[in-house]
Amino acid sequence: MSLRTQLGLTDGSPSPVQRAVQAWPVWMARHSVLARVDGPEQLAQWLRGAAPVEANEVLLALGELGAVDGADDTAAASVLAELLVPGATVIARDLYTMCPRMDELVAGQLWISVRTLSWANRIQVASTVLMNVRRDVLRHLGWATPWADRVSLLDPTQDQDASWLAIECHRSQVEQRGAQEALYDLLEEAVEDQVLPSREVGLLLGLAEASDAAVTRRANAGLTSKPAVRAVAADQHTSSASVERRARRALAQLRGTYVRRSA
């Protein structure tokens, strides 16, 4: 069963765009940025050609309209969810071997993420929602075991990359919730700050999941451990050297940005 079906976006029911046509003038009165689009029918096409900042402002407007702590308009939430279905479908396809009901899980988490969107924080809507969906699906399936449990809060003599993420930037969060949660929080911040492109964020998330799956010796528990690098390289049909090089470059970018800020 597809994500669209799980979300009730089937041909037999009024589409979010159809419901939005009637609500659009009211929405524009609340959020003038929606006037940038001729109407909800053109929304998906407009987003494809819009500048990232302008596109995100429109998505934020829809997010506020659809959020429970915003206008609480389920039609707007459905419009936003439908716009994010392609990205959510990629997540479901990537994780489908983990659960026979993956479409249902992803659709449910997508709806929850849209309805609880942190619109007031001016987040990067698409990337943050999809990152949350992937994280929460994995957590639901029991893949949220924190790295800290495996590496004694990441002794910095053992794994410099993961130790920096956990200790230098998010020590208090590591002590409370584990290093993997700290990584997700850090990557969310990096996405919002546009420190890393989404491709590199996806690479680090893939390495995090692969390292979580590879329960190995203490020294092999980091993002750039050989088992994790090999797994991601095979998944992306590229070389281990390329994955490791990209990961270390992305981690250096994160370190250079957030260590300077905390200094």
pLDDT digit string, tens, across residues 21-44: 999 999 999 999 999 998 888 998
Q: Is residue 156 pLDDT above 50, yes or no? A: no
Q: Is residue 203 pLDDT above 70, yes or no? A: yes
Average pLDDT, the chain: 76
Position 75 scores a pLDDT of 92
Distance between CA atoms of residues 101 and 131, nearest Å: 19
For residues 127 and 191, is the Cβ–Cβ distance under 8 A? yes
Position 252 scores a pLDDT of 85
Position 171 scores a pLDDT of 35
Instruction: State how far Cα 157 lies from the chain centre.
Output: 30
Q: pLDDT category, 146, cuts 50, 70, 90?
A: very low
Position 222 scores a pLDDT of 67
Segment among 55-64, 66-75, 227-236 with least mean pLDDT: 227-236
Mean pLDDT computed over 45-57: 90
- Long-range (24+ apart) CB contacts under 8 A made by 31-37 are 31/61, 31/64, 31/65, 33/57, 33/58, 33/61, 34/58, 34/61, 34/62
pLDDT tens for 228-239 read 888 888 877 889
For residues 179 and 165, is the Cβ–Cβ distance under 8 A? yes
Q: Is residue 111 pLDDT above 80, yes or no? A: yes
Higher pLDDT, 41 or 256: 41
Position 234 scores a pLDDT of 81
Percent of the chain with pLDDT over 90: 27
Mean pLDDT computed over 154-178: 36
Position 6 scores a pLDDT of 62
Q: Which two tokens stand for residue 109?
A: 């988490």
Mean pLDDT computed over 77-85: 92
Domain ranges of the chain: 3-121, 148-262
Position 261 scores a pLDDT of 61
Distance between CA atoms of residues 59 and 61, nearest Å: 5
Position 109 scores a pLDDT of 93
Burial 230-263 (b: 16+ CB within 10 A, else e): bbbbeeeeeebeebbebbeebbeebbebbeeeee
pTM of the model: 0.60
Segment among 56-65, 70-79, 91-100, 167-176 with least mean pLDDT: 167-176
Nearest alpha-carbon partner for 124 in 65, 70, 197 = 197
Q: Is residue 155 pLDDT above 70, yes or no? A: no
Specify which of 108-112, 171-175, 216-220, 230-234 reaches the highest per-range mean pLDDT.
Answer: 108-112
Q: Concatenate the DSSP letters of all residues of 87-133 into one string.
A: HHHHHHHHHGGG-TTHHHHHHHHHHHHHHT--GGGT--HHHHHHHHH
